[in-house]
């Protein structure tokens, strides 16, 4: 099943907008019934929560590390790809935070969650168990939305540690421009590069440079999926890579595939590509 130009979910996944008061913190909620399948999750620098209603699910980090989970997990901001293996039918519910949003929920520096996975009950003192019970009793997207809105509006401080510098800089990094200079962003924010990096590690969990690289990869992946007869050297130049080899290396790091392998995999039924 081929990814859309924006690398969005397949039609099997229902996406739900959060309450307007949460819109700067949560990108969307999602829900899916997943049969036996393998999914490669591409990094986008966001933290997420997955509620797993069903049997054990395995996450493979491709470095001889695995995580088996059967209930709820918190996924910190990721800079690497990973695979999820579903053996049986599971009902999945997800909260997709914005790049600078999970800080308001966790209320601790996000750098400690970078490229990490946690049992959600260990992070929020078991409160997620009650939420899972509520989700089990929901019937349809509207009730899922109400349950998650209620939970997050209580748990989330929308004013905690608000940093206009980080919020504005994240918006610029996500704007779609490929030639953004971190030095220029620091200058526009009237802070040093070092201070901007410190702010990002606290609120986003990764540096502005890494976020820029990830968003550029996602953008270029969308272009690759929707063009025929791609001139790789020209694409590398237009998207501000040093050269074609640099573009290929970025693809391999963030997806595990070369660009041509990525194209082949996008049409494969063996391993789906997804952003969670």
Residue 156 carries which DSSP code?
-
Question: What number of H helices and E strands is found in the chain?
Answer: 11, 11
- Residues 56-67 have pLDDT tens digits of 788 888 777 777
Residue spans of the domains in the chain: they are: 14-155
CB 144 within 8 A of CB 29: yes
pTM, two decimals, is 0.88
CB 77 within 8 A of CB 106: no
Query: Is residue 147 very low, low, confident or very high in pLDDT (cuts 50, 70, 90)?
Result: very high
Q: Token pair for residue 130? A: 């009650």
**CA 124, 68, 146: angle at the middle one, nearest 5?**
45
CATH homologous superfamily of 14-155 = Jelly Rolls (2.60.120.10)
- Give the range with max mean pLDDT: 82-86, 132-136, 204-208, 269-273: 204-208
At how many degrees (to 10) do helices 208-225 and 259-266 cross?
60
> How many angstroms separate the Cα of 198 from the Cα of each of 46, 48, 203, 276?
17, 22, 9, 26
Around Cβ 225, how many Cβ atoms within 10 Å? 18
């Amino acid at each position: 099943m081929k990814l859309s130009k924006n690398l969005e979910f397949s039609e099997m996944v229902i996406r739900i907008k959060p309450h307007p008061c949460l819109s700067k913190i949560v990108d969307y909620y999602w829900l899916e019934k997943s049969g036996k399948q393998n999914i490669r999750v591409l990094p986008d620098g966001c933290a997420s929560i997955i509620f797993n209603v069903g049997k054990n699910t395995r996450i493979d980090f491709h470095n001889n590390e695995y995580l088996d989970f059967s209930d709820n997990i918190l996924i910190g901001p990721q800079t690497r790809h990973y695979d999820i293996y579903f053996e049986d039918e599971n009902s999945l519910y997800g909260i997709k935070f914005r790049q600078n949003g999970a800080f308001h929920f966790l209320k601790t520096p996000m750098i400690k969650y970078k490229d990490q996975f946690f049992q959600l009950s260990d992070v929020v003192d078991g409160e997620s168990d009650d939420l899972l019970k509520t989700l089990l009793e929901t019937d349809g997207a509207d009730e899922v939305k109400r349950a998650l809105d209620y939970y997050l509006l209580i748990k989330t401080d929308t004013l905690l540690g608000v940093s206009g510098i980080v919020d504005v800089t994240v918006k610029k990094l996500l704007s779609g421009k490929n030639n953004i200079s971190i030095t220029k962003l620091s200058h526009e924010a009237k802070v040093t590069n070092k201070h901007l990096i410190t702010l990002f590690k606290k609120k986003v969990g990764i540096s502005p440079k890494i976020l820029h690289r990830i968003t550029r990869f996602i953008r270029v992946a969308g272009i690759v999926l929707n063009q025929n007869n791609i001139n790789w050297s020209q694409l590398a130049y237009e998207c501000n890579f040093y050269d074609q080899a640099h573009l290929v290396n970025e693809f391999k790091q963030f997806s595990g595939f070369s660009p041509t392998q990525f194209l082949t995999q996008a049409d494969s039924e063996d391993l789906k590509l997804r952003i969670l």
